Amino acid sequence: MNARSQALLQVSGLVKHFPLKKSAFGRGGGVVRAVDGVDFSVSAGETLGIVGESGCGKSTTARLLMHLITPDRGEVVFDGAGVGGRDLSLRDYRRQVQMVFQDSYASLNPRLTIEDSIAFGPQVHGLARGEAVQRARDLLARVGLEPRRFAERYPHELSGGQRQRVNIARALALQPRVVILDEAVSALDKSVEAQVLNLLQDLKDAFGLTYLFISHDLNVVRHMSDRVMVMYLGQVVEIGAAQGLFESPRHPYTRALLSSIPSMDPDRRTEEPPLAGDPPNPIDPPSGCRFHTRCARAEPMCAQREPARPQVFPIASGGGPGVAQPWGRSQVACLMYEPGSGHSAAPAATSPDPVRVEHP
Amino acid sequence: MLHVAVDPSKVPAVAFERSPGYWQTVGRRLLRDRVAMGAALVLLLLLVLAVFGPLLAPADPYKASMLSRLKPIGTPNFPLGTDELGRDMLSRLMVGARLSLFMGITPVVCAFVLGSMIGIVAGYAGGRTNTVVMRTIDVFYAFPSVLLAIALSGALGAGITNSLISLTVVFIPPIARVAESVTTQIRNRDFVEAARASGAGAFTIVRVHVLGNVLGPIFVYATSLVAVSMILASGLSFLGLGVKPPEPEWGLMLNTLRTAIYTQPWIAALPGVMIFATSIAFNLLSDGLRSAMEIKS
């Protein structure tokens, strides 16, 4: 099946700038460029992993997708219908796309019993209370919590892993098609984390779910994802099939990021120097390529010219030279791969690039 | 202890394990707090006086007697002496509990309802709505509460209803402020985000997810205001803006007895003692409630 022909979720040109508070004397007033032009698409049934350092805009992207914050610009198309438009109301969209948060305790109302928390969503969408509670109990059993023991308990009586199972059940209560997992297992112990990851895989197979798996843990992302998107300072730097991306990363940032994973195999150690320092301030991002300040392969022109964003379109029609995007190689936003960009490693302007689709 | 091997199939279908709810736990913790329970006992006694005072009073609180004015404490037939018109102090203090408690509690209850509504709406809405509402509320903050109560009562005219209204207005800003700050905290928690993500409207979210987490702390704060309200109400009566003579009310009694402060200081102090005891009891109870509610952050 050509999964790419039917994108379930298409995001294009997503931008969110948070204005800074102005000081009393009218100074300041800049913006934090949390998400600055992000495009990607997710096919039905796949898991898209999103990785990056803290502050790179992973969570903001998740919240934008959920419309918990309103994007400044950009478009989210779900199953062919623009979200918030005439075809798909925000309310209907939210029934299909759900989210699991990182903090398992803060994401449950301490005054509600577990089953009431889970049954809340279905009741909002018109299910009678009795049926909603029944669904909550069924889901509790499904996520491995015995309903008789847990349904009428309060969140503070559960362990972190149990609470995260409840949060997963709560997200599934609306029978969504897409679940956004925003660092959903990051706060758990390693053993519990593995159990929850297995549970997530089981649920994905059972309910035919599509996951957006956000994490800073590269090994977990590799284990879970079909495709991976790497973000840096609010932009996508590389996106591609998980195996290809992890085995032969192309963007210098991805390489540096992956080299930070301790390798068990001495032959597989990368030569790439690890990243030093913190990412630059997103209030005032570097000119040109945002990574040039920390990039081992940077050349003077990298500060001048902004690399083109990885293309996710055109996807729709099969065939044609523009669609030749092999699963094996990822798409990058890097001048080294841009024909005629002027970077010494870049291919000549005339040479046909097998991956990039140049557009005017 | 007897250990018996249990055949699982013979165990009757057990009900769902239900843990005590939040308020049950708070109640149990409060019952273990001796100071709070003492305060509650005092308040219970006052409540009994407020309800049954006229029936329990040994004498008619309105019956004056020129012959027995300002009798000292311990005089036969007048265990707590008499006031400047010869009325039985004990009876007047007992009957006065009704009006004084009424004047103390009613404005706080009204302000609790209105102030919570204002504060929760402002806190949940956030942004510009919040700024507009809260800055308006802040205007009332500019006046000291005593001054505001006196000014409003004076403008509205003397009388019980008017002093209740002015006291309510005095207490709305502080309650709204507390309500706004707790609501703002709760609003940013992930479970409210999750509720929004499930497509629920603002009203539903406030009803299901915000109120339960917010009303407790506001209530605790409001109970601590009852003491202030009683003192302010007494102050208004003392100034002649609240309850009118010859009604027995502690603040008013304090006022009319001030002429006797050099001749019978103990009698003149009695209504003050009642006000003091009541407000202390309310404060201690609200303190106890506050610590009982801090189960887990």
SS3 labels along chain B: CCCCCCCHHHCCCCCCCCCCCHHHHHHHHHHHCHHHHHHHHHHHHHHHHHHHHHHHCCCCCCCCCHHHCCCCCCECCECCCECCCCCEHHHHHHHHHHHHHHHHHHHHHHHHHHHHHHHHHHHHHCHHHHHHHHHHHHHHHCCCHHHHHHHHHHHHCCCHHHHHHHHHHHHHHHHHHHHHHHHHHHHCCHHHHHHHHCCCCHHHHHHHHHHHHHHHHHHHHHHHHHHHHHHHHHHHHHCCCCCCCCCCCHHHHHHHHHHHCCCCHHHHHHHHHHHHHHHHHHHHHHHHHHHHHCCCC
Instruction: Please name the residues in contact with A236: beta carbons below 8 A apart, sequence gap of 6 or more.
Output: A38, A39, A40, A229, A230, A309, A310, A333
Contact B17 A152 (CB under 8 A): yes
CA distance A167 to A182: 12
Closest partner residue to B204 (CB to CB) among A63, A124, A157 is A124
* pTM of structure: 0.80
CB contact under 8 A, A152 and B18: yes
CA of A112 vs chain B CAs: smallest distance (Å)? 8
* Cβ-Cβ contacts under 8 Å, B200 against chain A: 120-121, 124
The alpha carbon of residue A174 is apart from the nearest alpha carbon of chain B, in Å, by 8
Nearest chain B residue to A150 by CA distance is: B17
For residue B199, give the nearest of A101, A125, A170 by CB distance.
A125
Domain ranges of chain A: 3-20+32-276
Interchain CB distance below 8 Å, A153 and B209: no
Contact A174 B198 (CB under 8 A): yes
Contact A153 B204 (CB under 8 A): no
With CA atoms as reference, the chain A residue closest to B191 would be A107
The CATH architecture one would assign to domain B26-61+69-293 is: Orthogonal Bundle (1.10)
Nearest by CB to B199, which of A101, A124, A148? A124
Task: Give me the percent of chain A exceeding a pLDDT of 70.
Answer: 84
Pairwise CB contact (< 8 Å): B19 & A154:
yes
Cα B181 → chain centroid: 21
- pLDDT at position B14: 58
Q: Share the mean pLDDT of chain A.
A: 82
A68–B193: do the CB atoms touch at under 8 Å?
yes
Q: Do B213 and A170 touch (CB under 8 A)?
A: no
Q: Does B22 touch chain A (CB under 8 A)?
A: yes
> Do A357 and A339 form a contact (C-beta atoms < 8 A)?
no
Per-residue confidence (pLDDT) for residue A304, from 0 to 100: 83
> B212–A157: do the CB atoms touch at under 8 Å?
no
- pLDDT above 90: percentage of residues in chain A: 29
Minimal Cβ distance to A152: which of B16, B200, B208: B16
- Nearest residue of chain A to residue B214 (CA atoms): A111
Q: Do B212 and A148 touch (CB under 8 A)?
A: no
Kindly report, residue by residue over A266-303, the tens digit of the pLDDT.
666 656 666 777 778 888 888 888 888 888 888 888 88
* Tokens representing residue A323 in the block: 């669609």
Kindly identify which residue of chain A lies nearest to residue B188, measuring between CA atoms: A106
Residue A1 has pLDDT above 70, yes or no: no
Neighboring chain A residues of B193 at a CB cutoff of 8 Å? 63, 68, 101, 107
**B-chain residues near A92 (CB < 8 A):** 199
Distance (Å) of CA B17 to CA A148, A150, A309, B8, B27:
6, 7, 54, 17, 20
Answer whether B16 sits within 8 Å of A151, measured CB to CB: yes
Chain B nearest-CA distance from A111, in A, is 7
Residues of B in contact with A148 (CB under 8 A): 14, 16-17
Note whether B19 contacts A: Cβ–Cβ < 8 A: yes
Nearest CA in chain B to A120: B195
The answer as to CATH 3.40.50.300 being correct for domain A3-20+32-276 is yes
More confident residue, A319 or B296: B296
Query: Which of B185, B198, B213 is most worth mutating to test chain A (most A CB atoms within 10 A of its CB)?
Result: B198
Q: Do B17 and A149 touch (CB under 8 A)?
A: yes
Is B193's CB within 8 Å of A149's CB? no
pLDDT in tens, chain B (297 residues): 455 555 545 545 556 777 777 788 888 888 888 899 999 999 999 899 888 888 887 777 887 777 777 777 777 777 777 777 778 888 888 888 888 888 889 999 999 999 999 999 999 998 889 999 999 998 888 888 888 888 888 898 888 888 899 999 999 999 999 999 999 999 989 999 999 998 888 899 999 999 988 988 898 899 888 878 888 888 888 788 878 778 888 888 888 888 888 888 888 888 888 888 888 898 899 888 888 887 654
